[in-house]
Structure 1
Amino acid sequence: MIQPFRIDIPQSDLDDLTDRLSRTRWPNEVADAGTDYGFPLARLRELAEYWRTGYDWRAQEAALNELPHFTTEIDGQNIHFVHVRSTKPDALALILTHGWPGSFLEFLDVIEPLSRDFHLVIPSLPGYGFSGPTHERGWDILRVARAWAELMRRLGHRRYGAQGGDFGSAVSLTLGAVAPEQVVGVHVNYLPTAPDPDAGIALTQEEEARLDRVRQLMAARPPYQALQATTPQTLGYALTDSPVGQLAWIAERFAQWCDPRTPVGDERMLTDISLYWLTATAASSARLHRESPRQIPSCPVPLGVAVFAHDITQSVRPLAERLYDIRHWSEFERGGHFAAMEVPELFARDVRDFFLTRLAP
């Protein structure tokens, strides 16, 4: 059963957040630390004070409630989603999937331009936000993709496209593998390409530089990823009990992964962080790093790729073409890991171009 959903955070939860922020126990910081030891103290105190005294969740809540929200239960798990229908009755449907530490909020600025041509389904990953925490093992990328296939079936979308970045990329590619008869194509804005010494492909200097970046990441696993992939429950105690801990954990990702020229504003970032805090999904969202395997099923459907200059890694096309049926490839000089929030106009245009032009009969 699909039910309408309205966001209504209890006032007691908002009062508790304000109280906790006012009682933060701050660590010291060495002189001239910069970012050498982690997220800077002065910046975090600034964000925490604005979250406590200036940020207005109720205003954000009211704006979000203008969207059509729904929930349904799939495979024993509550699933929250936004479903925006295009004014074109025969429009293609797209399912847009976020990653970590994002949320359905990533797509707010592209709903209007994309809904001119597409029906949009924007779910919250199981364990994230208003989908609520997961309660059992096994909610990996494959299980999420199967849940998405069932969600689209319930909504009556028999043929549709999929788009995603970060975990959303893996989910979208896997959705193409589990429902190839329904998925007309997949568009991603994050597609890691691992070095392959046996590929026998001559790469350009720029492509080799991109692979060097991948090798560096593989040699020294990012600390956040190592913790979430090994001890998400232990980490979850700190993040669920301390709003400043949750703030630092996510704000650091935005600071590192956004293009400095196209940063996500504090208001939008704090709304995203509030979503994690107010739904107590720090631990359950982190579990996706532990549950999901490094390898995902092969995706047989046409693929479109958007590469943004300041993403964590940039894809190498000759290596990607060995694995996927690539019909569309774009390189952008601006934008980072949160492309739909950073450069929504570029993002929306590329998605539209792939599904309406590159896949046209």
Structure 2
Amino acid sequence: MSAIQEFHLAIDEDDLVDLATRLDRTRWPEEEPVDDWSQGTKLAALKELIAYWRIEYDWRRCEARLNAIGQYTTQIDGLAIHFLHRRSSRADAIPLVMTHGWPGSVVEFLGVIDALAEPADTNAPAFHVVAPSLPGYGFSGKPTSTGWGVERIAKAWTELMRRLGYLEWVAQGGDWGAAVTTAIGQLAPEGCRGIHLNMPIGRPGPDDMQSADPKVQRALQRLGFYKQWDSGYSKQQSTRPQTIGYSLVDSPVGLAAWILEKVFYWTDNGGSPWDTLSMDQVLDDVMLYWLPATGASAARLYWESFGKFGEGTVAIPAGASAFPKEILPAPREWVERSLSNLVYWNELEKGGHFAAWEQPDLFVEELRACFGTMP
């Protein structure tokens, strides 16, 4: 049961025909009575995306790219774990496990895997890249019982790296990936040299509420906006994931709208979701929810772990990259309350929540700089 098997993705053409039929039969609501995204995904933006999905989008392109990188599965703790694995040709390459979040997937990393594995500069650090799909996401198995929270996932990733023969390695993540990576840091498994987060997790203290520091004030403002206007998805998924799951699994347009709202609000864009990511990129991600029907199973991770997001402290070496449009920006002093051995910190001038997806070149440089400081 511990064997690692190659995974070749070849979606049945009937599934793509079914998708096209569903898109053709969409029952649209009326247009929102506001001229912005304050009520959610705009009808015009979604119709534009769905028209592209129906006529121009090519799933086989994404499928071929995933197969070219190298896909594998292995059974860990009774669950099939799907992962991308790109070995570097460099003998000194550092094994790296990268974890995505919601509403992301391993396609967030398609633009960085090659550069991490085979840097053009031979003096730059190289990495053996392992990118697993979270349980219930993508082509990983769907848990059939409760208990698959971030700590259990962290233990599974530790076993995955051991199973791949990596005796020393590092871990990276954002969003749920940040929670899982933080949990790895808390476990401090033998062989893990350090971690990096592109969503630094930090909470305000009592004194912060009265702080005049502009960075603290900005973080508090963003936290207030998130709680009041941006967290409905998390409340639903952390309390009633099964209910929203029916819509996300049955309606491709509903699924796309659910994800596109976050692409708009969480990317560093100038007023359009397509300022930062292309329709192909967004639809590649949507397809990794649509094809394996993971709308409900992915949402259950919120039910399992949302209340414990970012708890605890990490004593092993840690680094963090703070991108300006992160949904919950945390000043360094907040982050140091949980990452007690923070050896790398950098504040970027551009980029949002989906760092690797939005700013692949900056993301790669951040990982090189961070892990280059860890012995």
Question: Shared fold by TM > 0.5?
Answer: yes
Q: Would the aligned equivalents of 1:311 and 1:337 in 2 still touch at CA under 8 Å?
A: yes
Question: 1:216 Cα shift?
Answer: 4.1
Which of 23, 36, 60 is 2:38 aligned to?
36
Name the counterpart of 2:28.
26
My pick for the range that moved more, 191-200 or 124-133, is 191-200
Question: 1:30 Cα shift?
Answer: 4.2
Question: 1:209 Cα shift?
Answer: 2.1
- Measured at CA, do residues 83 and 260 of structure 1 come closer, stay the same or move farther in structure 2, by a change above 3 Å? same
CA distance in 1, matches of 2:45, 2:321: 31
Write the mapping of 1:1-361 to structure 2, written as runs, cut at 5 A: 1-116=3-118, 117-197=126-206, 204-218=213-227, 222-260=231-269, 263-292=276-305, 293-295=307-309, 296-324=311-339, 325-356=341-372, 358-360=373-375
CA distance in 1, matches of 2:209, 2:295: 43
Matched residue type, 1:294? K
CA distance in 2, matches of 1:62, 1:221: 35
CA distance in 1, matches of 2:229, 2:50: 30
Give deviations 1:256-303, integer Å, cap 9, x for gaps: 100005611110110100110000000000000110142534222111
CA distance in 2, matches of 1:277, 1:301: 38
Percent of matched pairs sharing the same residue: 45
Give deviations 1:85-117, integer Å, cap 9, x for gaps: 111123210100000000011111111111131
- 1:66 is paired with a residue of what secondary structure? helix
- Measured at CA, do residues 219 and 44 of structure 1 come closer, stay the same or move farther in structure 2, by a change above 3 Å? closer
- 2:83 is paired with a residue of what secondary structure? strand
Matched residue type, 1:14? L
Q: Would the aligned equivalents of 2:215 and 2:331 in 1 still touch at CA under 8 Å?
A: no
Q: Would the aligned equivalents of 2:208 and 2:216 in 1 still touch at CA under 8 Å?
A: no
Q: What is the aligned-residue RMSD (CA, Å)? A: 1.8
Matched residue type, 1:150? E
- 1:186 is paired with a residue of what secondary structure? strand
CA distance in 2, matches of 1:169, 1:36: 27
Give deviations 1:283-342, integer Å, cap 9, x for gaps: 000000110142534222111110001110212111222332111111111100011011
Matched residue type, 2:194? G
CA distance in 1, matches of 2:196, 2:210: 25
- Measured at CA, do residues 127 and 354 of structure 1 come closer, stay the same or move farther in structure 2, by a change above 3 Å? same
- Measured at CA, do residues 146 and 203 of structure 1 come closer, stay the same or move farther in structure 2, by a change above 3 Å? farther
My pick for the range that moved more, 39-48 or 211-220, is 211-220
- 2:316 is paired with a residue of what secondary structure? coil
Question: 1:206 Cα shift?
Answer: 2.4
Q: Would the aligned equivalents of 2:202 and 2:337 in 1 still touch at CA under 8 Å?
A: no
Name the counterpart of 2:121.
none
- 1:349 is paired with a residue of what secondary structure? helix
Q: Would the aligned equivalents of 2:32 and 2:43 in 1 still touch at CA under 8 Å?
A: no
Matched residue type, 1:354? C
- Measured at CA, do residues 185 and 353 of structure 1 come closer, stay the same or move farther in structure 2, by a change above 3 Å? same
Q: Would the aligned equivalents of 1:259 and 1:336 in 2 still touch at CA under 8 Å?
A: yes
- Measured at CA, do residues 15 and 208 of structure 1 come closer, stay the same or move farther in structure 2, by a change above 3 Å? same
Question: 1:32 Cα shift?
Answer: 4.3
Question: 1:220 Cα shift?
Answer: 5.9
- 2:167 is paired with a residue of what secondary structure? coil
Question: 1:80 Cα shift?
Answer: 0.4
Q: Would the aligned equivalents of 2:158 and 2:189 in 1 still touch at CA under 8 Å?
A: no
Question: 1:144 Cα shift?
Answer: 0.5
Query: Normalized against structure 1, the TM-score is what?
Result: 0.95
Q: Would the aligned equivalents of 1:180 and 1:300 in 2 still touch at CA under 8 Å?
A: no
Q: Would the aligned equivalents of 1:194 and 1:211 in 2 still touch at CA under 8 Å?
A: no
Ranges in structure 2 where 5+ consecutive residues have no aligned partner: 119-125
Q: Would the aligned equivalents of 2:188 and 2:316 in 1 still touch at CA under 8 Å?
A: no
CA distance in 2, matches of 1:90, 1:4: 25
Give deviations 1:167-211, integer Å, cap 9, x for gaps: 001101111222342211110000232110157996622222212
- Measured at CA, do residues 301 and 58 of structure 1 come closer, stay the same or move farther in structure 2, by a change above 3 Å? same
Q: Would the aligned equivalents of 2:84 and 2:131 in 1 still touch at CA under 8 Å?
A: yes
